[in-house]
Structure 1
């Protein structure tokens, strides 16, 4: 009988980094897919498969970056003159900068 993975039985859990390749590998794979799609060597069917994989990777990477952004704190000077931290507000990636659902992020 095969041993169950420690993650077996979890349902409804949010996707995490262990659900796929590490962030850097996923980003590298997405860059490879973009390069392949920009070339003309792939058949239509292969192009569609790569496109779908690229969209999945893009969404996962965006989710990971958004989660990391929420964890970042900014170092500020507190009211007593001592350093303090506060959560960052919407910075360079405001709602206007985010791609719409139908728009490709790459």
Structure 2
């Protein structure tokens, strides 16, 4: 799994290593907003793996904005990830694959 990505059962969320030395956490509810269906764990992991660049870009943007301190853990919401998908030209993935 890329970037130390794991599924956190205790948080019901996906976690991956961020550039600030902390961990970035994306809750299943954020995936639900993007996938438009109640996603299973494997759906969330698959979507992350297919779009890791957008997740990493969203995390980097949050760090670069000064919203996150060094070595701190933080969350991303669906809006932040969607913005990165758009910037990277991947927004069509949401529309084409998930009927958004």
Tell me the TM-score range normalised by the shorter chain: under 0.3
Name the one with the larger helix percent.
2
TM-score (norm 1): 0.26
Bigger RCO (CA 8 Å, 6+ sep) = 2
TM-score (norm 2): 0.27
Q: Which structure is larger by alpha-carbon Rg, 1 or 2?
A: 1
